[in-house]
Structure 1
Amino acid sequence: MGSTVTRTSRSSRASRSSRPSGSSRRSRGAGRPGYGQLLRTPGAWAFLLPGFAARQPFAMLTIGIVLLVQHTTGSYGTAGAVSAVTGVSMALFAPQSGKLSDRFGQGAVLLPGVIVHSASGTLLAVLALAHAPLWALLAVAVPTGASVPQVGPMVRARWAATLPAGSPLLQTAAAFESVTDEFTFVIGPVLATALATGVHPAAGLLSEAVLTLAGGLLFAAQRRTAPAPARTGAGGRERRASALTVPGVRVLAVAFLGIGAVFGGMQVSMTAFTEEIGRPGINGLLYGTFAAGNMLAGLACGAVAWKSGPKRRMLVGYTALTLATSMLWAAHAVPLLGGLGLLVGLTIAPALITGYTLVESLVPAGVRTEAFTWLTGAVALGQAAAATAAGRLADGIGASAGFTVPLVGTGLALVTLAALRERLVPRPSEVVAARGGGTGRGSGIGHREPVTVD
């Protein structure tokens, strides 16, 4: 009996020792691969580097226009109005660009787009320097905004085309793209401000046009990683509804309007504040501190394995953002404004990243590029409206009044989020992809295969 127990015990130990000791750890680690493994994906850098340059317009355009037009007209209100028209045009045309990219391919949309954007942005700079009337600036602002290339959503689609279907790296790619968006908001506004204040008032806007042209053409040239155009359904007719028909997408669009209000209100109000105190050169430093907080929080969010659901994270993160913006109007010293700007930046990234995570689960795979462009367009629209409002308030009352715009924007969006939070839960009928016979190459990051819903 004793020998039997001994043999059983030894057999059990031998069985345990014969298993690969690190297999479970490797299995768990394989589920959350890191950024390094993602960036070693063959062909990734070929579209990441030009894509990073081509997505700078989204971060540089508004501040470049504000700094140039304010310099030539002396009015923040006029500068805000021109940038607002640009943002509204971008918000209206961005989803259409996403639809066309899904249907005809990225190159067919990107090539004419970057050419038109670079030409119209350059013309806008020339007209501003020539002190052209406001109607002329507004007229050129329309094609400038409408032609902003939607490179962020295109890069997300390329990850799905490059990585194998079902790869755990798809989730890592989604986090990486959100971090890249945040990093863009660090580099773009600071670069545009430094060029406009240190080189020439038009240098920020002209550099944005050059980066768009060079980066966009190089990005479009990387055809090997481009997703194939979506195929049509039976009879050649599209069977996909717009992403905006999903209620959760509309709720998230309102939330992203509030985020855009933070960007637009902060840019104009910080510029007005540094002018008021006679130190315009520190505007880039202040905004850079705000954007650095945004990027650091983005890096942290992309690396954390969250246990709470995205809906809860969205509500908590947006509440923190609203509370952070509530103190901006009271900042009357540079160190205090810098600290509050850092705090606001730290709270923006969680809301942005969680919003993009939610929209991926809410829409069919075949319309995710369009869904992403609705959100980026909402940011642009909120940014434009906030720049206009903050500019008027800064002209009439002072920079402190302009800082109330981010609070109002995020406050209204938070009320909407809280009231309609149940729409952020995906319904089975909404996430089934009506693919129409297409493949999954360009359908988005981390999508699920379609299933039949009774």
Structure 2
Amino acid sequence: MPPRALLPSYRRLFSAPGATAFTLAGLLGRLALSMSGVSLVVLLTERRGSYALAGTVAAAGLVSASIGIPLVGRLVDRYGQARVTVPTTLYLLVPLTALLLCVRLGAPDWTLYLCWASGAAGPNLGGMARARWAHLYRDDPGARHLANSLEQSLDELCFMSGPVLGMLLCTTFAPEAGLITAAVLGSTGGLLFAAQRRTEPPLPEAPSREERRSGSPLRVPGLRVLVLTFLATGMIFGATDITTVAYAEALGHKPAAGLLLGLIAGGSCVAGLAFGLLTPRRAPSVRFLTGAASMAAVLLLPLAAGLGRVGLVPLGAALFAAGTATAPTMVTGMSLIQELVPQRQLNEAMAVAVSGIVVGISAGAALAGTITEHTAPGTGYTLPACAAALALLVALTGRRHLRTPGRRETPEPIVSASV
């Protein structure tokens, strides 16, 4: 996609006052989140000398986040983004500081689990940014599609750069440097995001008695289908990460694993930006099924490369290609959430979707670790391929719940292309 077509198309999003400010603030917060995991692992392996401890502490945080993020999202829907983001952002500094002190003072291992789990659930800035775009362009489906594509690409950009930045800080300065920087970036980004009040979606009118009884947004059948699909997608991420590191190590090039994983995120980032420029002409449910089918197809490429014991270059090409199907699927899934779930529950619904991905990453990493220990290098790529097939099966089974009747399916043209 030529830059002269790319930049003007995305520039139109930022014509809304305040859009640039909340996007950059949210980017800071997401960068902090993406560098926290690797920074924690480096800190604990350096100061405590145990990969097992680092892995289980990180897993405890993922479990806590999968529960806490939707709860924070529910508070956001009830009280507003700024009123929830400011106190939760400031609160997260407390358990993080406590963790650093416990590591420094040699506190018992259980204190590390307690601190990391207590600070794992923060405001979902990515979901709140998408909610702002949905409000700003509530009457422009084409712009919403473009904005969702941009947000997914920004997520991938953070996933590429965050771990690299965290590793660089921890190895160049001190093992604590990564988490300290993440704390500064995360708190700055969260507070700046909350300060952008003019783009904050207004609170919906007080719900009726019947609406209050509706409870969790998971009562919406379509959201359940999407969450299960995202859970399988998270398994793809977690399993691919572990398998790729093990495969690179088996070839004697473990440092290259970071580059290989960056290629996956790079493929997804490029695909997300390009996908945003296309004019969707099919129903969102059809596009979601197409994306899931594409994921199932391209995940066969790393599997073939791994089983064929190829070198790093062809494996990198296969991983880049595998990443290209992820962003369009995720973009369409987030768009479907905006269509299927009532506006008053949008933040909680997006947080639930993120929790599904988090749980999937944790499960995929654990399963891939077991497979890697007991099989030949590259065999672990079977798990991402199976997870992609599972995502497609779930989407096919629940496809009738993904339909959005009464909506105009064809947005205003952005460029003359079609999906």
Tell me whether the two structures share a fold, i.e. TM-score over 0.5: yes
Which residue is equivalent to 1:293?
267
Compared CA separation, residues 142 and 286, structure 1 to 2 (3 A) = same
Report if aligned partners of 1:291, 1:345 keep a CA contact under 8 Å in 2. yes
Which residue is equivalent to 2:37?
62
Pair 1:363-2:350 in alignment:
no
Question: Which stretch shifts more, 227-236 or 36-45?
Answer: 227-236
Compared CA separation, residues 403 and 192, structure 1 to 2 (3 A) = farther
Which residue is equivalent to 2:417?
none
Pair 1:391-2:365 in alignment:
no
Q: Give 1:239-254 correspondences, 5 Å limit.
A: 241-254=215-228
Compared CA separation, residues 323 and 236, structure 1 to 2 (3 A) = closer
Residue 425 of structure 1 and its aligned partner are, at CA, apart by 1.5
Whichever residue aligns with residue 339 of structure 1, its letter is A
Pair 1:180-2:180 in alignment:
no
Describe the superposition over 1:370-407 as per-residue Cα deviations: whole angstroms up to 9, x where unpaired: 21111111111111222233334445557535444323
Query: C-alpha separation between the residues in 2 aligned to 1:199 and 1:340?
Result: 35
Report if aligned partners of 1:84, 1:385 keep a CA contact under 8 Å in 2. no
Report if aligned partners of 2:33, 2:186 keep a CA contact under 8 Å in 1. no
Which residue is equivalent to 2:237?
263
Q: Secondary structure at the match of 1:55?
A: helix
Which residue is equivalent to 1:44?
19
Whichever residue aligns with residue 357 of structure 1, its letter is S
Report if aligned partners of 1:114, 1:213 keep a CA contact under 8 Å in 2. yes
Q: Secondary structure at the match of 1:388?
A: helix
Q: Secondary structure at the match of 1:224?
A: helix
Compared CA separation, residues 171 and 275, structure 1 to 2 (3 A) = closer
Which residue is equivalent to 2:57?
82
Which residue is equivalent to 1:205?
179
Q: Give 1:277-292 correspondences, 5 Å limit.
A: 277-292=251-266
Residue 41 of structure 1 and its aligned partner are, at CA, apart by 1.9
Pair 1:232-2:206 in alignment:
yes
Report if aligned partners of 1:84, 1:381 keep a CA contact under 8 Å in 2. no
Query: C-alpha separation between the residues in 2 aligned to 1:97 and 1:236?
Result: 23
Which residue is equivalent to 2:397?
419
Compared CA separation, residues 167 and 420, structure 1 to 2 (3 A) = closer
Describe the superposition over 1:178-230 as per-residue Cα deviations: whole angstroms up to 9, x where unpaired: 33333332332333344445554444333322211111111112223222333
Report if aligned partners of 1:101, 1:229 keep a CA contact under 8 Å in 2. no
Residue 302 of structure 1 and its aligned partner are, at CA, apart by 0.8
Residue 244 of structure 1 and its aligned partner are, at CA, apart by 0.6
Compared CA separation, residues 412 and 310, structure 1 to 2 (3 A) = same
Compared CA separation, residues 385 and 71, structure 1 to 2 (3 A) = farther
Which residue is equivalent to 1:375?
353
Query: C-alpha separation between the residues in 1 aligned to 2:297 and 2:104?
Result: 40
Which residue is equivalent to 1:192?
166
Pair 1:143-2:121 in alignment:
no
Which residue is equivalent to 1:322?
296
Whichever residue aligns with residue 21 of structure 2, its letter is A
Could you tell me the percent identity over the aligned residues? 34
Whichever residue aligns with residue 289 of structure 2, its letter is L
Q: Secondary structure at the match of 1:34?
A: helix
Which residue is equivalent to 1:438?
none
Query: C-alpha separation between the residues in 2 aligned to 1:68 and 1:238?
Result: 45
Question: Which stretch shifts more, 185-194 or 82-91?
Answer: 185-194
Describe the superposition over 1:117-142 as per-residue Cα deviations: whole angstroms up to 9, x where unpaired: 33434544555577765533332231
Describe the superposition over 1:106-160 as per-residue Cα deviations: whole angstroms up to 9, x where unpaired: 12211222223334345445555777655333322312322x3200121122234
Which residue is equivalent to 2:332?
354
Describe the superposition over 1:333-363 as per-residue Cα deviations: whole angstroms up to 9, x where unpaired: 2213312221221121121111112222222
Pair 1:313-2:287 in alignment:
yes
Report if aligned partners of 1:255, 1:413 keep a CA contact under 8 Å in 2. yes
Q: Secondary structure at the match of 1:145?
A: coil
Residue 237 of structure 1 and its aligned partner are, at CA, apart by 8.5
Query: C-alpha separation between the residues in 1 aligned to 2:48 and 2:250?
Result: 17
Query: C-alpha separation between the residues in 2 aligned to 1:419 and 1:375?
Result: 18
Report if aligned partners of 1:240, 1:367 keep a CA contact under 8 Å in 2. no
Query: C-alpha separation between the residues in 1 aligned to 2:248 and 2:38?
Result: 14
- Structure 1 residue corresponding to 2:316, chosen from 338, 342, 348: 338
Residue 275 of structure 1 and its aligned partner are, at CA, apart by 4.2
- Gaps in structure 2 of 5+ consecutive residues: 1-7, 412-419
Report if aligned partners of 1:272, 1:394 keep a CA contact under 8 Å in 2. yes
Query: C-alpha separation between the residues in 1 aligned to 2:131 and 2:156?
Result: 18
Question: Which stretch shifts more, 384-393 or 216-225?
Answer: 384-393
Which residue is equivalent to 2:79?
104
Report if aligned partners of 2:149, 2:327 keep a CA contact under 8 Å in 1. no
Report if aligned partners of 2:142, 2:279 keep a CA contact under 8 Å in 1. no
Describe the superposition over 1:42-78 as per-residue Cα deviations: whole angstroms up to 9, x where unpaired: 2212211111101224433334334444556666554
Query: C-alpha separation between the residues in 2 aligned to 1:58 and 1:372?
Result: 17
Query: C-alpha separation between the residues in 1 aligned to 2:226 and 2:257?
Result: 31
- Structure 2 residue corresponding to 1:115, chosen from 84, 90, 113: 90
- Gaps in structure 1 of 5+ consecutive residues: 1-32, 432-445, 447-454
Compared CA separation, residues 297 and 282, structure 1 to 2 (3 A) = same
Q: Secondary structure at the match of 2:89?
A: helix
Query: C-alpha separation between the residues in 2 aligned to 1:274 and 1:122?
Result: 35
Pair 1:91-2:66 in alignment:
yes
- Higher-Rg structure is 1
Aligned length: 397
Whichever residue aligns with residue 281 of structure 2, its letter is K
